[in-house]
């Protein structure tokens, strides 16, 4: 996503979601992965989630393509300037 001309920053996070058992209860064993991309668009640019997904599908294997794209005005960073991915799902 970084290579897309309208993207300023992007971070991709994978989280394992708990799955529901046959009896309707959820299990503590996470099985289903959710890949979510968080994107900051360059000032003055507009891009849709569908446009970004089409872009990454041309460049990545299917299992690496995010399931969701969330647009943000900024990504949370630590004092060193690295993205704090743990804060993205909150």
Percent of the chain whose predicted confidence (pLDDT) is above 90: 68
Nearest CA to 18 out of 33, 7, 3 is that of 33
Quick one: CATH architecture of 7-76? 2-Layer Sandwich (3.30)
Q: Where are the domains of the chain?
A: 7-76
Instruction: Give the span between the Cα atoms of 65 and 43, in whole angstroms.
Output: 25
Q: How confident is the model at residue 68 (pLDDT cuts 50, 70, 90)?
A: very high
The predicted model gives 67-90 an average pLDDT of 92
* Strand, coil or helix: 56: helix
What pLDDT score does 54 carry? 97
Quick: pLDDT tens for 42-63: 999 999 999 999 999 999 999 8
pTM exceeds 0.75, yes or no: yes
Does the pLDDT at position 77 exceed 60? yes
């Amino acid at each position: 996503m970084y290579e897309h001309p309208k993207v300023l920053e992007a971070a991709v996070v994978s989280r394992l979601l708990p799955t529901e058992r046959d009896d309707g209860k959820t299990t503590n064993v996470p099985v289903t992965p959710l890949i979510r991309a968080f994107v900051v668009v360059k000032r003055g640019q507009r891009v849709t989630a569908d446009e970004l997904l089409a872009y990454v599908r041309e460049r990545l294997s299917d299992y690496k393509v995010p399931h969701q794209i969330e647009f943000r005005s900024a990504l949370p960073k630590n004092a060193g300037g690295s993205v704090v991915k743990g804060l993205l799902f909150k």
